[in-house]
Amino acid sequence: MRILVVEDEPAIGSYIQDCFVERGYSVDWVTTCEQALETAVVEDYDSIILDRRLPDKDGLFVCSELRSQGITVPILVLTALSGIDQRVEGLNVGADDYLLKPFAMDELVARVQALIRRSSYRNQPNLTIRNISLNSLNRNVTVNGEQIPLSNREFLLLEYLMRHADQALTRSQILEHVWETQRDSDTNIVDVYINYLRKKIDVPQKTSNIETVRGFGYRFRYED
Amino acid sequence: MKTELSLQRRITLWSTLVVSLIFIVFIVLVILALDNQLKWDLDHRIDEEANAVELSIFHTDSGISIDESIEWREPHHQDMDDESMVLMILNENLHLIRRSPNFPFSPELIQSFVFDPTDSNYYTRSFMDLEMRFLVKPIPFANQTLVWIIVGKSFNSIHQILKEVFTIFLFSFPVALIMVYWGSLFLARKSLRPVRAISEKARQFKSSNLSQRLPVPRTDDDIAHLAITLNELLDRLETTVVSLRNIAANASHEIKTPVTILYTYLDRWAQTHPDMDTHEILSFRSELNRITKIIDNLSQIAKTDSGAAKLQFDTVWMNDLLYEEIERFRPQALMKDITIQVKPLPSVAIEGDESWLHLALGNLIENALKYSPEHSSISLKMESTDAHTLMVTISDEGHGVPEQDLELLTARYFRSKQSRPGTGLGLAIAHWVVQQHHGKLRFANNPTGGLTVQVCLPEQYNPGT
């Protein structure tokens, strides 16, 4: 896995680099928009971590420039500007996620991993298991051809379960992939969201697509 | 005592009063002058009459003879009315020679005159129940003989004219008064219209649209001058506010970068010292978080004040939002051993601005955490009421808020007495956000202690549609 870090603050940049290298990534680190564009066009990265306030330009410039050249690498924007308005602005120019400074390194790692994983879904956005169809690009979910409105987390959870159908997934795996957190707190949020999904997908059809694996976690049933 | 009358009304009343006083003085002067003139006319007419009568007196050898053919037959010498004149001729011994039929001889009247052989004299006497003017004129003849002509006329005609004039004035006064009142009301309104326009405009001003200016009337008068001066003041204010706004935005960035660096050092240090107490690292982190939060709040409130904050309405899944906020604060809750009890939330979406709602509800949860004692619990629930409104209720087991302070909670920089350090901005921002969504934010003390916050948000409110 190769990632590009665009960050002008040495303390932050070097730390991000170290953390990802530790986890087995190969990391390139540049400090300006110009360098970022030069390398990102030539090299094939799995993800880019992009700071917004760079010495030469707004980081979002890199983002819009890459997108206009048809480069679809997942981009996570780091911003010290407060979150309101920034999110919309960032997503409008084609960023995939954003993270506010100051951030915890665990969260950054989890987010980047989620981005890389989800970008692999882009090659095969459509997935159908029995009566349930899911599209990772436009986030549509249909059950028996009928569209089901899902919240963002509900969709991510269903996507994760369906992409790993027939695998038993632990709660902490789910927490890490859907909520991008490695926090091992005693939360029941996974069970709550499984419940939402069951109410929307299984209960009306009297099916049981989402199974509980007692003492372990959950599994999306693959075979009839 | 402060007067309740508007400036316009006061100007009207004052000008009406002044004009009516001038009118009254004018009437008095006119009547006095007219009276004077008429009296002078009267004297003149009596004198002319006396001259005419004089021509009818002849001195012959046998004595005085009077030609009665013309003058004495005129009707106004026969009977008594306003225009009548009385005539009398006396000899030098003041014995009656001749009198007109309308002039009864009265010795008392004759005695009240002074007979001066050298000059004519005028007298005002009351005679036959009338106010009358008399002329006593000596007519000397060649051989030292002398006759006296007495001509008299009543003042009644003068009084009649004066009365008529006065009546005209009396009736025209209220009419004039009404005209003056409406006229000055019109003028006052016309001249104050620019002032009204200025104040109407000024009322629409907010710190969010400081680029607006007051209308300057095209006249080159005091009001135009006032408007120009105020506009100059607004120019300076705008410059200051804009630079403050920029400072708030920049400060947020300038401070967050070093905080992020501190964060990374802390993370590194924690990794290289695995024996270190995680509790202390957590508190270190949460203090850094608090600094960020305060900076955020300050820059957000600057945005809401300046109107730079623009809400983007879209579908917001409230269960996602609340659970994310709860998870965000869970480490902080753990440190104080506070349990966050969540009654299973329904999966509901509303129309709203996700980022601002995150901020608002995060502030409310954070506030509940801040005022909760250790080992207590916070309960949170969300339900749809039948009126298409979503109600989020957050209640803690803290000390609550004194009843008199409940309404002040959303005021800027307000902090209850037992409060811990904070910016006092969190609830003010939450209040602003809820207002922008046309929702309601309510606070109440629980009967068992602690504070309950209720947020009501309409499910379908969207200002864009």
Interface contact A127, partner B, CB < 8 A: no
What CATH architecture applies to the domain B206-308?
Orthogonal Bundle (1.10)
For an interface test with A, give the residue of B257, B268, B324, B432 to mutate (most A CBs within 10 A): B257
* Cβ-based burial of B440 (10 A; exposed 0-12, middle 13-18, buried ≥19): middle
pLDDT of residue B63 exceeding 50: yes
pLDDT of residue B465 exceeding 50: no
Q: What is the pLDDT of residue B417?
A: 54
Of B288, B326, B347, the CB nearest to A102: B288
Of A53, A101, A151, the CB nearest to B317: A151
Please provide the average confidence, as pLDDT, over all residues in chain B: 83
Higher pLDDT, A92 or B456: B456
pLDDT of residue A34 exceeding 90: yes
Per-window interface: B 357-376 vs A, CB < 8 A: 358-359
Distance between CA A109 and CA A97 in Å, rounded? 13
Interface confidence, given as ipTM, is 0.81
Q: What is the pLDDT of residue B378?
A: 95
Q: What is the pLDDT of residue B189?
A: 86
Q: Which CATH class is domain B7-162?
A: alpha beta
pLDDT band at B322 (very low <50, low <70, confident <90, very high): very high
- Contact check, Cβ <8 Å, A11/B323: no
Cα distances (Å, whole numbers) of residue B5 to B8, B9, B10, B432:
8, 6, 6, 37
Q: What is the pLDDT of residue B420?
A: 47
pLDDT of residue B422 exceeding 60: no
pLDDT band at B1 (very low <50, low <70, confident <90, very high): very low
From the list B379, B371, B358, B325, the residue with the least C-alpha distance to B434 is: B358
Higher pLDDT, B242 or A163: A163
Amino acid at A129: I
Interface contact A22, partner B, CB < 8 A: no
Average pLDDT over residues A92-112: 85
Average pLDDT over residues B34-43: 92
> Which chain B residues touch A154 with a CB distance below 8 Å?
317, 320, 347
Q: Which CATH class is domain A126-220?
A: mainly alpha
What is the CATH superfamily name and number for domain B310-458?
Histidine kinase-like ATPase, C-terminal domain (3.30.565.10)
pLDDT band at B463 (very low <50, low <70, confident <90, very high): low
What CATH architecture applies to the domain A2-121?
3-Layer(aba) Sandwich (3.40)
Min distance A84 CA to chain B CA atoms (Å):
5
Min distance A157 CA to chain B CA atoms (Å):
12
What percentage of chain B exceeds 70 in pLDDT? Answer: 92
Average pLDDT over residues B401-409: 79
Look-up: residue for tokens 């009548």? B84
Its pTM stands at 0.63
pLDDT tens digit string along B256-273?
Answer: 888 888 888 888 888 788
Average pLDDT over residues B363-389: 90
Pairing label, strands A210-213, A168-170:
unpaired
* Cβ-based burial of A69 (10 A; exposed 0-12, middle 13-18, buried ≥19): exposed
Of B285, B319, B342, the CB nearest to A151: B319
* CB B58, CB B67: distance < 8 Å: yes
Q: What is the pLDDT of residue B208?
A: 63
Domain range list for chain A:
2-121, 126-220
Higher pLDDT, B198 or A5: A5
pLDDT of residue B320 exceeding 90: yes
pLDDT tens digit string along B72-108?
Answer: 777 778 787 778 888 888 888 888 888 888 888 888 8
> Which chain B residues touch A85 with a CB distance below 8 Å?
309-310, 355
Q: What DSSP element (H or E) covers B366?
A: helix B354-371
For an interface test with A, give the residue of B252, B256, B380 to mutate (most A CBs within 10 A): B256
pLDDT tens digit string along B147-188?
Answer: 888 898 888 888 899 999 999 988 988 898 899 899 988 988
- Contact check, Cβ <8 Å, A101/B299: no
Residue B216 is given by DSSP the state P
Of A15, A87, A187, the CB nearest to B264: A15
pLDDT of residue B337 exceeding 60: yes
> Which chain A residues touch B345 with a CB distance below 8 Å?
192
Distance between CA A208 and CA A142 in Å, rounded? 16
Average pLDDT over residues A109-132: 87
- Contact check, Cβ <8 Å, A192/B345: yes
Higher pLDDT, A72 or A185: A72
pLDDT band at B18 (very low <50, low <70, confident <90, very high): very high
Separation of CA B430 from chain center: 37
Average pLDDT over residues A185-204: 88
Higher pLDDT, B407 or A75: A75
Min distance A197 CA to chain B CA atoms (Å):
10
What percentage of chain A exceeds 70 in pLDDT? Answer: 94
Cα distances (Å, whole numbers) of residue A100 to A51, B37, B125, B422:
10, 100, 113, 21
Of B312, B319, B327, the CB nearest to A88: B312
pLDDT of residue B255 exceeding 90: no
Domain range list for chain B:
7-162, 206-308, 310-458
Distance between CA A198 and CA B327 in Å, rounded? 22
pLDDT of residue B412 exceeding 70: no
Per DSSP, what are the bridge partners of residue A217?
A: A170, A213
Separation of CA A178 from chain center: 8
Interface contact A171, partner B, CB < 8 A: no
Q: Which of A104-113, A163-172, B3-12 has the lowest mean pLDDT?
A: B3-12
Average pLDDT over residues A191-210: 91
Among chain A residues, CA nearest to B340: A187
Q: What DSSP element (H or E) covers B196?
A: helix B156-203
Average pLDDT over residues B30-54: 90
Q: Which of B50-59, B169-178, B313-322 has the lowest mean pLDDT?
A: B50-59
Distance between CA B134 and CA B153 in Å, rounded? 7
pLDDT of residue B421 exceeding 60: no
- Contact check, Cβ <8 Å, A187/B327: yes
> Which chain A residues touch B285 with a CB distance below 8 Å?
104
- C-alpha atoms less than 13 angstroms from C-alpha of B169 in its C-beta half-sphere: 16
Interface contact B329, partner A, CB < 8 A: no
- Contact check, Cβ <8 Å, A82/B267: no
pLDDT tens digit string along B285-309?
Answer: 778 877 887 777 777 777 777 666 7
